[in-house]
Amino acid sequence: TAEHLTHSYTERLLLDDTSFSLNENEKVGIIGINGTGKSTLLKILAGTVEPDNGKIIMGRNLRIGYLSQKPEFSQNISALEAALPLQKDISDSPANYEPQAKNMMNKLGFKNHSQPINELSGGQRKRIALIRTLLTPADILILDEPTNHLDSAMNEWLEDYLKKYRGALIMITHDRYFLDRVTNKTFELENGRFRSYNGNYSAYMAQREIDKKTEQRNYDNTM
């Protein structure tokens, strides 16, 4: 649960007294034009950024998996090593995840599992970070642009994976079709204002159109 979140970047108000809850098995897409604070909201939920005001309340022992927009890795490790969960996030050995990691790497276009992470492009590194996030046990997945740098087959694989994922999911993606097929709730950020809609992207668009007509009608009645 987020309670009364307020946050500014420079002089721009991104979140203005924002409150909402994320429930078990909900799959949420965040909508808003660039610069509205979508990534900042994810960082606050993931605990990497502190809000100016407000707080996040979570269940005890809740595990969060977070894919940032620009993931970072240790230097001088292989792509396979980078794809494994970090030791601090698991109770067993990262090596136990190698078979799954290799399978995911094959699905996402990696043929040379031992290639140094430093030699990979930005898009490849993002895909490796996606694998690491998906492999790390989590009750909530927080994904910032997971569909970037994926071709249609990779997109399809990720869509299927997230549909079957049993935890809660909150993500940003500009792929409207992906949102339609994966999400069942939509959060909208606009000029610091936050709105929650039940349903996927298409349901959100339909409801948003109704809301706009209602707002216009109310405005006209005051004139």
Measured between alpha carbons, how far is residue 51 from residues 13, 40, 144, 192 in Å?
Answer: 12, 9, 18, 13
Q: Cα 193–159–115 angle (5° rounding)?
A: 105
Token pair 């069942």 in the structure block, residue: 184
Name residues whose C-beta falls within 8 Å of residue 206's C-beta, 6 or more positions apart in sequence: none
Name residues whose C-beta falls within 8 Å of residue 165's C-beta, 6 or more positions apart in sequence: 27, 141
pLDDT digits (tens, 9 = 90+) for 149-186: 999 999 999 999 999 999 999 999 999 999 999 999 99
Nearest to 46 by CA among 37, 36, 56, 54: 56
Three-state DSSP class for residue 16 = strand
Helices of type H across 51-121: 79-83, 98-107
pLDDT digits (tens, 9 = 90+) for 90-145: 999 999 999 999 999 999 999 999 999 999 999 999 999 999 999 999 999 999 99
- pTM of this structure: 0.92
Q: Is 43 exposed, middle or buried (0-12, 13-18, 19+ CB in 10 A)?
A: buried
Q: pLDDT class for 198, splitting at 50, 70, 90?
A: very high
Q: pLDDT class for 30, splitting at 50, 70, 90?
A: very high
| 111 phi, psi to nearest 5 deg | -100, -35
For a pLDDT cut of 70, what percent of the chain falls above it? 99
Q: Which amino acid is at 84?
A: L
Across the beta sheet with 27-31, the strand order is 64-67, 140-144, 168-172, 27-31, 185-190, 193-198
Q: Is 69 exposed, middle or buried (0-12, 13-18, 19+ CB in 10 A)?
A: middle
In angstroms, the CA 109 to CA 112 distance is 9
